[in-house]
Chain A
Amino acid sequence: MSASVLSDLVSGLAAGRIRVIDLTRTLAPELPQIVLPPELGQCWPFRIEEVSRYDERGPAWYWNNFSCGEHTGTHFDAPIHWVSGRDLPGNSVDTLPVEHLVAPACVVDCSAEAAADADFLLTVDFLRAWEARHGRIPPRAWVLMRTDWSKRTDPVAYQNFDESGQHTPGPDVEAVKFLVHERDVLGFGSEAIGTDAGQAAHFRPPYPCHYFMHGSGRYGLQCLTNLDRLPPTGAVLICPPLKIRQGSGSPLRVLALVAADAAGV
């Protein structure tokens, strides 16, 4: 029985009944990095330098050294990332339960709203309206906020700064509390550079998605792409971060398994 579950998965993949969709942005130096005031510590952007390329530095092989921060590119946030989650058990990428790394996802389409308002905030009402159409968000599921923000391929438009800071969509305080306390979500995912809105430094508390999600042992995924290719419900996310000792997060490959008849393409 247990063997047939997996053989169904394998045969479904082989037959194309299950599609694998890559929700990951390509790591490259041009990929914008989270911006903090310059006097604070900074997360490294992705950088890469050649070790050798079939040349005098290594005649038959090509390889690179790269550097980046734990929160560079498409990446995973563990609870220990935020001060509110600092004392939780299993709060770092090396200790969190691996069962959490394969989980269902609900995709909340806010793309029209985000196109109209870069500061769009996902609210409880918006989530309840989504549930009225697609059913209740199940416990231990990812909630992914689709904004089509990843389609902003120009880094300036993606970061969207003006003198008052960044303008990118995210959840409001009550929506985060609702997802954690009333829906028991596994985590929250975003296409923007952070799970919190660009202006969330001014919310009460600041950065509520980080504060409440991580304070309750939940996770974050950011810089996702291809969310427009996922169904509202039914996708399964595979998102294991690197096993960094006491790591607060990690760049990672995020894959979604989608039933072919539900896939957007």
Chain B
Amino acid sequence: MTAPLERPRRKNPVLRTRLPTTPPAARSRVALGLTAAAALGRFELQVCRDCGAVQYPPREACHACLSERLDWRAQDGAGELLAETVLHHGLELYYRERVPWRIGTVRLDCGPAVVAHLHGDCPAPPARVRVRACLDRAGQAALFAIPEKDTPSMADDRQLREMTCDPQHRKILVTDGKTALGQALVRAFVAAGAELVWVGHAEPWKRAPGLDALAALPQSTLVPLDLTDARSVENLAAAIGGKVDILVNNAEHHRTFGIEARRGIDAARAEMDVNYFGLLRLAQAFAPALRARGADGAASAAAWVNVLSIFALANFPPHGTYSASKAAAHSAAQCLRAEMRGSGVRVVNVFPGPIDDEWNQLLLPPKLAPGGLANAIVAALRSGVEDVYPGDVAQDWLARWRDNPKALEREVAG
């Protein structure tokens, strides 16, 4: 059984912090289909439209009938562990540093046999297991076999933790503690066993309900942070940047205008200043230290979470300028993700539908409860996905957008 992860010991400050390494990242374009699904926490394989054969590894033509009509379809991953091997050396730097490493061959019930990373709680073969598609530290899909039934502390498995960003024992920065979501995030991270949570708050003279209660939590510390002020961001990075393991940027400015409903661009500019330029300021100040600590022991720097909006995918005209600022932030987050890739620090983008807050007052339900969204973010970090579409509205928009982005544009334009 997996031993529960002990609180990591303080690191020896005279030893050099190891540089991050990542597993091999090259994939063919067709193999990236596996990654695209894993980014959402889904395990998909190609299924032949003509003969029904399930394909692995990903390929251009059906292994059974050579048809090119292969569709990515969700798989439940159930299968039989046939054989296991423990790697004791590897040619890749990443694996050399992590051996021994357990892998196994699994015959999936849907047909193909796959080689998968093997959870420590999987019994010796033959045994029933579940195969998941996870993202590894290079951001690529990796198949991971876990026991048929959950085991105690299974998330603490050494190999599985290479795929996840569990907040337990980690130090978290939540950039805005004044909002309902920010406060729910702080509580969710405390409940998830975070070592401590720094809680940013801007304009301290504007008192926010609930902030004092957060300050009373033993794990949390209020810190001044205003994303519109480069010096404020730099000052906080100087103070704590080298300690932050997971940064959650939930700070946002949200007004509910399209283009013609608001004279001038002051509201739009304020949205861009927080939602887009604020992300750039944060990234320039905090990302270098996170990148440098991607392999800093059991509680290394692990993740950067951007709370975007489903409106980043397609403009929602009643909140048109907000949508544009979130689209800009989404684009910047893709750039950040590319720049973080070599460090193993995962950039997680969250695309919620409307949150149940004052700026969405006039939108009809369903709206996301801040507490539910916070829990979804913690769950995403634990499961190791990098794109999160929490709630019914986001899932609905995602499905329509994937099906036909132009159709979605027309549908939401009313």
Contact = CB atoms under 8 A, between A and B. Distances in A.
Interface in A1-42: 29-30, 32-33, 35, 39, 41-42
15 contacts: A29-B226, A29-B229, A29-B231, A30-B232, A32-B203, A35-B205, A35-B206, A42-B266, A45-B228, A45-B229, A47-B228, A159-B205, A161-B206, A162-B207, A163-B207
A32 B352 CA distance: 32
A132 interface: no
Interface string A44-66: 01011100000000000000000
- Majority DSSP secondary structure for residues of A touching B: loop
A211 interface: no
B229 A155 contact: no
Contacts of B264: 41
Interface in B225-260: 226, 228-232, 255
A43 B167 CA distance: 39
B115 interface: no
A33 B229 CA distance: 13
Nearest to B255: A39
Contact of B205 (A39, A47, A48, A155): A155
Given A155-B205, A161-B207, A47 B229 contact: yes
B contact residues, range: 10 to 19
A35 B205 CA distance: 9
A64 to B, nearest CB: 10
Contact of A48 (B203, B231, B255, B267): B231
B205 A41 contact: no
A33 B266 CA distance: 16
Given A47-B228, A47-B229, A49-B230, A32 B205 contact: yes
Interface string A137-170: 0000000000000000001101111110000000
Nearest to B228: A47
A6 B117 CA distance: 88
Interface in B175-233: 203-207, 226, 228-232
A30 B230 CA distance: 11
A19 B231 CA distance: 34
A42 B270 CA distance: 9
A219 B266 CA distance: 26
A29 B231 CA distance: 8
Interface in A148-204: 155-156, 158-163
Contacts of B207: 161-163
- Majority DSSP secondary structure for residues of B touching A: loop
A156 B230 contact: no
Interface in B136-158: none
Given A41-B266, A42-B266, A42-B270, A29 B204 contact: no
Ranked 9 nearest A-B pairs via Cβ: A159-B205, A29-B229, A156-B205, A156-B204, A155-B205, A49-B230, A41-B266, A32-B205, A161-B205
Contacts of A162: 207
Nearest to B270: A42
A158 B205 CA distance: 8
Contacts of A159: 205
For B231, B232, B266, B270, the residue with the greatest tally of chain A CB atoms inside 10 Å of its CB is: B231
A168 to B, nearest CB: 11
A199 to B, nearest CB: 16
Nearest to A39: B255
Contacts of A33: 203
Contacts of B206: 35, 161
Contacts of B205: 32, 35, 155-156, 158-161
B261 to A, nearest CB: 12
Contacts of A29: 226, 229, 231-232
B204 A155 contact: yes
Given A41-B266, A163-B207, 9 more contacts: A32-B205, A35-B205, A41-B267, A45-B229, A47-B229, A158-B205, A159-B205, A161-B205, A162-B207
Nearest to B281: A49
A29 B203 CA distance: 10
Nearest to A159: B205
A16 to B, nearest CB: 37
A95 to B, nearest CB: 24
Contacts of A45: 228-229
Nearest to A160: B205
B207 to A, nearest CB: 6
A47 B232 CA distance: 10
A166 to B, nearest CB: 9
Interface in B20-69: none
A159 B204 CA distance: 10
A226 to B, nearest CB: 22
B234 to A, nearest CB: 10
Contacts of A47: 228-230
Interface in B257-303: 264, 266-267, 270
A32 to B, nearest CB: 6
A44 to B, nearest CB: 8
B297 to A, nearest CB: 34
Contacts of A158: 205
A118 to B, nearest CB: 13
Contacts of B270: 42
Contacts of A156: 204-205
